Structure 1
């Protein structure tokens, strides 16, 4: 992660997930020591995050709940809380551990879910989804969880930048759209070699 010792440790949340498992593989190939939330960290448990991040110079926050079912019982409990409060806990733990850089995987839904977006409109770091519009958005009726997911990602990212600015955290976000490719299932084994 920069000009530091190539064997420094970094932490990755969601290490068993699709994107994070490939990230873990890449970091290990680059010579980093990787702590993952395979340490049994729960994003809503601040102390477990502190334990996972202990000794790390960098942090990759990849974990976020993505519903696989169209039926949500409690959007606050199932999506919003883990995304927003989990991100806040991660940033607090990074501040406490004096992590020098945090990379957060957000989503394109934190950028473009708003009324009157044109297909040729350029989106950049000044663009945010409209949180009220996210919640009211019923355009994708086959994916009723989408409005809560887009709201949660927008809220998590905006709060993350506020926290980072107020507390001197070096935060970078990445906003992917669709992530595809072969499934990599070796991250757990590689973390334990």
Structure 2
């Protein structure tokens, strides 16, 4: 499918993953209608307006997750909607208000609007591995993880994993609504996303690298699974461009140790020493068997983890975060 002439909407367009989706869509010739909470906030929009093709084919709209109907203007006339807008935070004082309501009600708000716009062929929702990795009973080290795995809300509530709960409930609500309303829905489930930043602000996952370098966090996990933001963005676009795309897509990398990460960091910071840090409890399990054949079937070839780490650090240096 060629993007020229096709119009698509990206919600939460100023975010980390969404900015890359917008960039890729513009490069592929799409006309993009991007929603942000405040189109007049230059800090949130300047990096989008500076993208190649933005002058000709990018238009900004105001979109608020909890305001019913606020996405109608942006979605009108679109062939596809990429819904990425959702709060990202691992801590919350009022989880229902800060995380769960915006994630669940915001997703339903966007999907309801899509039912009113006959031009929309497909909706691609950004979920997370958070909605995959916390089933009951919990995952064991030799369990296999694929698109059939779903997190259990009760497990999240019991451990007060509010962000994970918000992603789990939002995806569940999306599937139910799509089925009831005959929406062609595809859901992307990325893991821990790193890679270069387009936006001027520091996002939660890139901040992990900043904390490692600045030694601000003495408790760090010894093992990770990383995926490149550029691969995640490409998977989203391919999910629209591939007519046979359907269901969920896990986008996740191989296990990486803190020693692997330190090796790359040392290229830029020779005096850095991470080995004496204390081991944190593994919030997200990593020792499971992973199947990513489905997303590879869309034509996504994963960027090597070392390149992702190197490009993340270069980007953080350019933006003066480290």
TM-score (norm 1): 0.85
Q: Which has the higher strand share?
A: 2
- Which residue, out of 90, 114, 124, partners 1:94? 114
**1:62 corresponds to which residue?**
84
Pair 67,27 (structure 1): closer, same or farther in 2 beyond 3 Å: same
SS of corresponding position for 2:69? helix
- Which residue, out of 148, 151, 156, partners 2:162? 148
When the two chains are superposed, the root-mean-square deviation of aligned CA atoms in Å is 1.6
Counterpart contact for 2:69–2:109, Cα < 8 Å = no
Q: Following the alignment from structure 2 to structure 1, what is the Cα–Cα distance between the partners of residues 192 and 123?
A: 22
Counterpart contact for 2:123–2:184, Cα < 8 Å = yes
- Given the alignment of the two structures, is residue 7 of structure 1 paired with residue 5 of structure 2, yes or no? yes
> 5+ unaligned residues in a row in structure 1: which ranges?
139-146, 187-193
Greater relative CO (CA pairs within 8 A, separation 6+): 1
**2:197 corresponds to which residue?**
183
**1:103 corresponds to which residue?**
124
Shift in Å, 1:180: 0.5
**1:79 corresponds to which residue?**
99
- Given the alignment of the two structures, is residue 40 of structure 1 paired with residue 62 of structure 2, yes or no? yes
TM-score (norm 2): 0.52
Paired residues, number: 174
**2:71 corresponds to which residue?**
49
SS of corresponding position for 2:190? coil
Give CA-to-partner distance per residue, 1:105-128, whole Å, 9 cap, x none: 100010111333123322233221
Give CA-to-partner distance per residue, 1:15-39, whole Å, 9 cap, x none: 1011000100000000101011131
SS of corresponding position for 1:56? coil
- Which residue, out of 151, 160, 169, partners 2:174? 160
